[in-house]
Amino acid sequence: MNRPVEPSPMPPHQAEATNSRNNRRLMSTIWKHRKEYLAISPFYILFAIFGLFPIGFSMFLSFQKWDGISEMSFNGLKNYQFMLTDPEFWRAVSNTLLIWIYSTIPMLFFALIIAFLLHASFMRFRTFFRIGYFLPNVTSLVAVAIVFGTVFSNNYGLLNYVLSLVGLESVEWLNKTWGIQLAISVMIIWRWVGYNAIIYLAGLQSIPSVLYEAAKIDGASGLQAFFRITIPCLRPIILFTVITSTIGGMQIFTEPQVLVGNDGGVSGGGLTIVLYLYREAFVNNYFGYGAAVGWGMFILIALFSILNWRMVQGNSSNH
């Protein structure tokens, strides 16, 4: 069997001529469409200024010691070393993870139930309820935090008033670590459950009805259709909501900051990673250390997002 003849390498001068010709062709194409490129250039310019530059500068700043006024000095890995050995940082990580667990699992569960109810044929005024469930997501977060602060107030809170009506003792919600985390979790659930329900509803509406008709003909029950058709078809959407909820849950800031202040309340129960970053960088003026905490948070978000993705993908392959 004859082996194919390999083409001989292009002479250097011919390769240079080809590259030069390709470059001229590229520049000619760009010049020909210069108006189109000019029209979209503001986006890339603004993205470079307000997106790429802050990312690069924060990485550079994480290796510096800087208070925002005096001259920067190279700090090496000391910011990262202090972060990994600071008990306050790990408390913030622990609080963030607990609040994420308390809020995300119930939120996605209730969102799925609401989506099924809105998708059901017996439900009336579905458009009204869709708008109503989505309204909390567009409400001012500061206003929401103030309202929930009133609901969970230690002395005159609405929740304690309801407890007194049924003969129970009042609870100092905002003076207990678990109470602060519960209040923040309820806020997150109230604000985002409708948003995720609308996403699940869109996924339900995209499932072909012929699949359910075929399952009914084959004698499948409603529960079997749910686990064999609905959940597998919704799995990509569930993965999306889990990952976005993970990213959002790791960046909780306004809720605890308005509810209990920059220190996270009693025993630091509301101290999240972003609140800790804000306190160190913008209250204590440790900007280099704050940048290091930001990159630490980025790594945590990436790790948990990958973990969630692998878990959902693993369940998908098992089915």
**Six-digit token pair at 256?**
């605890």
pTM: 0.82
pLDDT value at 32 more than 80? no
- Report how far residue 66's alpha carbon sits from residue 284's, in angstroms, rounded to the nearest whole number: 11
Neighbours of 296 (CB within 10 A): 19
173-195 residue pLDDT tens? 888 899 999 999 999 999 999 99
pLDDT of res. 130: 76
Q: If you search the block for the tokens 């990485």, which residue do you land on?
A: 59
Residue 18 banded pLDDT, cuts 50, 70, 90: low
pLDDT value at 277 more than 80? yes
Q: If you search the block for the tokens 């995209």, which residue do you land on?
A: 206
CA-closest candidate to residue 65, choices 53, 55, 73: 73
Average pLDDT on 127-143 reads 82
Q: What HEC string does 116-141 produce?
A: HHHHCCCCCCHHHHHHHHHHHHHCCH
Residue 119 banded pLDDT, cuts 50, 70, 90: confident
Q: Which domains are seen in the chain, by residue range? A: 21-61 (no CATH), 80-318 (1.10.3720.10)
In sequence order, the 6+-apart residues with CB closer than 8 A to the CB of 292 are: 62, 79, 80, 83
pLDDT of res. 134: 82
Q: Distance of alpha carbon 74 from its chain centroid, rounded?
A: 32
For 143-179, the DSSP string reads: HHHHHHHHHT-TTT-HHHHHHHHTTPPP--GGGSHHH
Paired sense of beta strands 73-74 and 64-65, if any: antiparallel
